[in-house]
Amino acid sequence: MADQNFPEPQGGGSLIIAWQIKGKKVLVIGGGEVAAGRILHLLNADALITVICPPSGLNPEVKHRITKNQVFHIPRNFHPSDLSDPSSISMVLVAIDDPAASTLIYKLCQKHRIPANIADVPPECDFYFGSVHRDGPLQIMVSTNGKGPRIASMIRKFIASKLPSNAGRAIESVGELRVKLRKIAPEQKEGPKRMGWMKDVSDKYSWEEMCEMTEEDMDNLLRFYAAGTVPEFKELRGMRAGAKEEDKVPYTFDGSFGFSVGA
């Protein structure tokens, strides 16, 4: 049956998403170790962070973030008036040792439809955090859906140890190539051709080759777009201005593909 080609859903997971919090206001209530971890996640995503915590509750890392003006600090406990302009607040993260206050904050957030996470209280979380590996534009998040935070961290380290050292660089290259391609073939009707050619590029080159790709290589590669072909990576090496004579591949210059880029 054709039906059986469709994947069977596996319930019990989370919907893992990359939230776009850049330039948006986030309240972090509490200033201990857990808050420090949340703040780093938020800074890595360019959020505008306000930490609400009495000075006595700040751990050294949170103090450091305040001193460096990486976060704004309100030096007292949470007060419901902190949510008096709910439309200005995109997210609330709570990490305090006060279950009653935590529950109150969570209920206020629900009322105002502000996504919230109360640390260590799963039923009062619209979302959980996981262990994140970061390498430039690459982010890999490991979640055990609350079953084993320490294992999540082990798995993250295991993955980091297996990844090529410049996996992030390879992604940057593909991103740059896509931007350059849109410049030389900007028309909307070119969309399918652009996507198809980018797919061919991804299929043809290994990660290691992608990581090696220079600006010059990209410019040379783009000359193949009009003909819709993708050369071997060694051909790109041969086309470099400083390439040794023996590395130059003859058909790079044989005119067998058109230079009608942008036509």
For its own copies, the binding residues in 187-226 under the rule CB under 8 A are: 198-199, 202, 207, 210
**Binding of its own copies at residue 43 (CB under 8 A)?**
yes
Residue 120 is a catalytic residue: yes
Q: Indicate whether 144 belongs to the interface with its own copies (CB under 8 A).
A: yes
Binding span for its own copies by CB under 8 A among 74-82, 147-155, 215-223, 224-232: 147-155
Residues numbered 117-136 forming contacts with its own copies, rule: CB under 8 A: 117, 125-130, 132, 134, 136
Nearer of residues 146 and 258 to its own copies, judged by Cβ: 146
- Asked if residue 257 binds its own copies (CB under 8 A), the reply is no
CA–CA dist 148, 62 (Å, integer): 26
Secondary structure (DSSP) of 155-207: HHHHHHHHS-TTHHHHHHHHHHHHHHHHHHS--GGGHHHHHHHHHHHHHHS-H
CA distances from 41 to 37, 44, 93, 107, 136 (A): 7, 5, 12, 24, 14
User: In angstroms, rounded to a whole number, what is the distance separating the alpha carbons of residues 238 and 242?
Assistant: 9
If one asks whether residue 74 binds its own copies (CB under 8 A), the answer comes out as: no
Residues 7-26 that bind its own copies (CB under 8 A): 7, 9-21
* Positions in 78-97 near its own copies (CB under 8 A): 87, 91
Check binding of 48 to its own copies (CB under 8 A). no
- Residue 108 makes contact with its own copies by CB under 8 A: no
CA distance 63 to 73: 9
Active-site residue identified among 120, 203, 217, 219: 120
The angle at the Cα of 52, spanning 51 to 56, to the nearest 5 degrees, equals: 105
Residue 72 touches its own copies, criterion: CB under 8 A: no
The yes or no reply on residue 2 touching its own copies (CB under 8 A) is yes
Residue 203 amino acid letter: D
